Amino acid sequence: MTDQARNRTLRNWAEIIAFVAIVVADAFGLVPITQTLFLLPLIWVLLRSRNERWSTIGFYRPDNPGISVALGVVAGLLMELFAVYVSTPLISSFFGVEPDYSELKSIQGNLALLFVFLGLSWALAAFGEEICFRGFLMKRLAQVFGESQTAWVVSLLLSSVVFGWGHTEQGVSGWVQEGLSGLLLGVLFLATKRNLAVPIVAHGVSNSLAFVLIYFGRYPGLG
């Protein structure tokens, strides 16, 4: 390995560590509001320091926007229905406890609050988390492992674990369920030539359906 390649690898690892440190700090309640508000500025600084564009981590207009949106909508609906009626019950049964979504119980029956959370979810989760976890983190992890096909699979698995860890406030069942959701979103990212459009739409639609179900009191783990 040349000195230049070694330095590039060390820099990638440093960026990954900085990213994960914010996620871990958030898991221990040390980050106010949400980790996304800290991760996005970090990513902006790191990309600028390398003269990289957002497109290098998959955030660019897809070739077929309409198809991407349609795929994202279908994928998001299927993901959330699978989570609510299949994976969450199985995970909850295995661990003996449902995910803890009690902090969202205030949305139940409150239409104004539902719309507030829908807006925040699209901005911070759909766009924010996909740029952070599927875009930036997966790219950097793949780079340190050589950007081969195997490297991207390893990146998918590791980033999904970190994504799940970023939701520890939901309890162990929520941690695992979010990790699984991150895995599915990562698969969508890889399957669409590492473009973030489909994962962003899928994430937004999935969360939107979840919030609507919470509004009607039909979601597990509300307490």
Express each pLDDT in 127-157 by its tens digit. 999 999 999 999 999 999 999 999 999 999 9
What is the length of the chain? 223
Distance between CA 109 and CA 127 in Å, rounded?
26
200 CB-near residues (< 8 Å, 6+ apart):
72, 126, 127, 130
Residue 205: partners with Cβ closer than 8 Å, 6 or more residues away: 72, 73, 75, 76, 77, 80
| Contact between 218 and 211 (Cβ < 8 Å) | no
Q: Quick one: average pLDDT of 17-40?
A: 94
The encoded tokens of residue 49 equal 């320091």
Give the single-character DSSP code of 53: -
Burial of 5 per CB tally in 10 Å (0-12, 13-18, 19+) = exposed
What Cα–Cα distance (Å) separates residue 73 from each residue in 85, 112, 201?
18, 24, 6
5 band by pLDDT with thresholds 50, 70 and 90: confident
Instruction: Compute CA distances 176 → 87, 121, 150, 163, whole Å.
Output: 10, 20, 23, 10
pLDDT band (50, 70, 90) for residue 1: low
Contacts (Cβ under 8 Å, ≥6 apart) of 202: 71, 72, 73, 75, 76, 79, 185, 188
pLDDT-based confidence at residue 160 (cuts at 50, 70, 90): very high
The CA-atom distances, in angstroms, between 182 and each of 179, 189, 223 are: 5, 10, 24
Q: Which helix (H) or strand (E) holds 23?
A: helix 3-27
- Find out whether 23 and 165 touch, Cβ atoms under 8 Å: yes
pLDDT-derived band at 64 (thresholds 50, 70, 90) equals very high
Predicted pLDDT of residue 222 = 82
Residue 94, token pair as written in the block: 């295995």
Q: How far apart are CA 223 and CA 205, in angstroms?
A: 24
